[in-house]
């Protein structure tokens, strides 16, 4: 190809390429900004990003978040210093026509000592508070609060991971419930966590750190909720086919609501002994015929523990480990076909050792479902 043509091509190319480059830069910048905004949770209020760690709602979650902020700030400083040095060096030692090659060196003791000590100091600044935090959060709740005041003994709650739902027991109150951890605001709770089957992992990020839940072993974690509300989490350790459908949530009540909840849940539901209407009565009968091998309802003949305790299921906001809303449609959907909601779950596929030989509980007619929904929702 004749040379003049080639250089003409190159010249005509130049003005076109610049805007493209600028557009690329703009795109990259706006992408970076939106990623930053999303990362900071600025793009959505905390209620829409419920499994966040950066809007802590308990003392323990604050300890963790403060560590996160410390590390983030240190990392940002390191990032800025390094990037500035790179830009400076690129500019200062750039190629210039006629300048001689700079002096070539190999090894510089002072610099090498410097960049060994520098990162070591940064790591130490991270390690000391991290190790302090780990030891503070582990084990039993502290007997004194931040200002050295003696605090009321922690409220023990047993958390038992099951495939694929959570059982909660309140030994001091004599309460057994499932899937919704109810706690008082302002009182330290101590979770004593174990598993009935495989390893699960418990983590409600706004309230606590993450903790593995293992069979034949009890791990403890404590925290004090600081604000009433409902907080969400998700099983964090692969635990079988329905792992992804094993959510957890905690409901923190102010003192009066907590007291009322305890008073209600420490007793059998009034509707267990005396059904509120005829439909509920049919539901109670169906329950006795088909559900007794797996469920318990306080104050009735149902005392099995293969599935969640249903003594007060009518007052829960969700069922099936946070997967369905506990309204008429949600409950009916579960009873019509639990396998459609959580394929492979143990209500639809009981393990052989439970000795469940019939499938009666899965063969409900529409009117049976209506009656059971009425009965279960009356259990408050």
Looking at 175-183, 214-222, 244-252, 324-332, which segment touches Cu ion (CB under 5 A)? 244-252
- Name the DSSP letter for residue 215: B
Determine, following the binding rule CB under 6 A, whether residue 236 of this chain makes contact with ligand HEC.
no
Determine, following the binding rule CB under 6 A, whether residue 275 of this chain makes contact with ligand HEC.
no
Interface of this chain with ligand HEC, residues 138 to 177, rule: CB under 6 A: 164-165
N-term to C-term CA, the chain:
88
Residues 6+ apart with CB under 8 A from 216: 194
Q: Shortest CA distance to 213 belongs to which of 221, 224, 222, 223?
A: 221
For ligand HEC, which residue of 346, 374, 377, 379 counts as binding (CB under 6 A)?
A: 346
Determine, following the binding rule CB under 6 A, whether residue 315 of this chain makes contact with ligand HEC.
no
For ligand HEC, which residue of 57, 295, 333, 377 counts as binding (CB under 6 A)?
A: 295
Exposed/middle/buried for residue 243 (C-beta within 10 Å: 0-12, 13-18, 19+): middle
DSSP string, 50-118: TT-SSS--BHHHHHHHHHHHHHHHHHHHHHHHHHHHHHHHHHHT---TTPPPPPP----HHHHHHHHHH
For ligand HEC, which residue of 208, 291, 297, 371 counts as binding (CB under 6 A)?
A: 291
> Residue 150 Cβ, how far from ligand HEC at the closest point, in Å?
37
Residue 276 gets the label, from left (phi > 0), alpha (psi -120 to 50) or beta, of alpha
For ligand HEC, which residue of 56, 161, 236, 308 counts as binding (CB under 6 A)?
A: 308
Distance CA 365, CA 371 (A): 10
Distance CA 181, CA 177 (A): 8
For ligand HEC, which residue of 225, 296, 297, 313 counts as binding (CB under 6 A)?
A: 313
> Residue 380 Cβ, how far from ligand HEC at the closest point, in Å?
13
* Secondary structure class of 252 (helix, strand, coil): strand
Determine, following the binding rule CB under 6 A, whether residue 226 of this chain makes contact with ligand HEC.
no
* Secondary structure class of 189 (helix, strand, coil): strand
Report the residue number, 195 or 345, with the smaller CB distance to ligand HEC: 345
> Residue 235 Cβ, how far from Cu ion at the closest point, in Å?
3
Report the residue number, 163 or 224, with the smaller CB distance to ligand HEC: 163
Determine, following the binding rule CB under 6 A, whether residue 312 of this chain makes contact with ligand HEC.
no
Distance CA 374, CA 266 (A): 22
Quote the radius of gyration of the chain (alpha carbons, Å): 30
Report the residue number, 141 or 294, with the smaller CB distance to ligand HEC: 294
57 binds, among Cu ion, ligand HEC, none (CB under 5 to 8 A by kind): none
Interface of this chain with ligand HEC, residues 119 to 138, rule: CB under 6 A: none
Residues that bind Cu ion (CB under 5 A): 200, 235, 239, 246
Residues that bind ligand HEC (CB under 6 A): 164-165, 178-179, 242, 287, 290-291, 293-295, 306-308, 310, 313, 316, 319-321, 334-335, 342, 345-347, 350, 354, 356, 361, 372, 376
């Amino acid at each position: 190809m004749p040379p003049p043509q080639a250089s003409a091509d190159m010249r005509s190319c130049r003005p076109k390429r610049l805007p493209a480059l600028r557009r690329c830069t703009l795109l990259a910048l706006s992408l970076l900004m939106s990623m930053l905004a999303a990362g900071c949770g600025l793009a959505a209020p905390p209620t829409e990003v419920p499994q966040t760690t950066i809007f802590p709602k308990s003392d323990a979650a604050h300890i963790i978040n403060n560590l996160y902020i410390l590390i983030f700030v240190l990392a940002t400083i390191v990032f800025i210093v390094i990037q500035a040095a790179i830009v400076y060096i690129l500019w200062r030692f750039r190629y210039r026509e006629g300048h001689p090659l700079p002096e070539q060196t190999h090894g510089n003791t002072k610099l090498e000592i410097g960049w060994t000590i520098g990162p070591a100091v940064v790591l130490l600044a991270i390690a000391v508070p991290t190790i302090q935090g780990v030891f503070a959060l582990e084990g039993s709740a502290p007997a004194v609060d931040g200002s050295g005041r003696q605090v009321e003994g922690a409220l023990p709650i047993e958390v038992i991971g099951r495939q694929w739902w959570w059982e909660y027991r309140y030994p001091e109150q004599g309460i057994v419930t499932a899937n919704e951890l109810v706690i008082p605001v302002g009182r330290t709770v101590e979770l004593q966590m174990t598993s009935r089957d495989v390893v699960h992992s418990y983590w409600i990020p706004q309230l606590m750190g993450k903790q593995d839940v293992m069979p034949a072993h009890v791990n403890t974690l404590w925290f004090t909720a600081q604000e009433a509300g409902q907080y969400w989490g998700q099983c964090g350790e692969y635990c079988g086919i329905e792992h992804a459908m094993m959510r957890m949530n905690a409901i923190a009540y102010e003192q009066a609501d907590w007291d009322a909840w305890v008073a209600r849940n420490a007793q059998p539901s009034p509707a267990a002994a005396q059904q509120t209407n005829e439909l509920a009565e049919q539901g109670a009968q169906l329950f006795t015929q088909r559900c007794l091998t797996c469920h318990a309802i306080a104050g009735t003949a149902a005392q099995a523990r293969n599935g969640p305790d249903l003594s007060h299921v009518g007052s829960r906001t969700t069922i099936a480990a946070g997967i369905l809303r506990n309204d008429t449609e949600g409950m009916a959907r579960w009873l019509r076909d639990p396998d459609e909601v959580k394929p492979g779950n143990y209500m639809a596929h009981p393990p052989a050792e439970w000795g469940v030989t019939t499938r009666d509980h899965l063969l409900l007619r529409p009117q049976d479902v209506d009656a059971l929904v009425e009965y279960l929702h009356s259990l408050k």
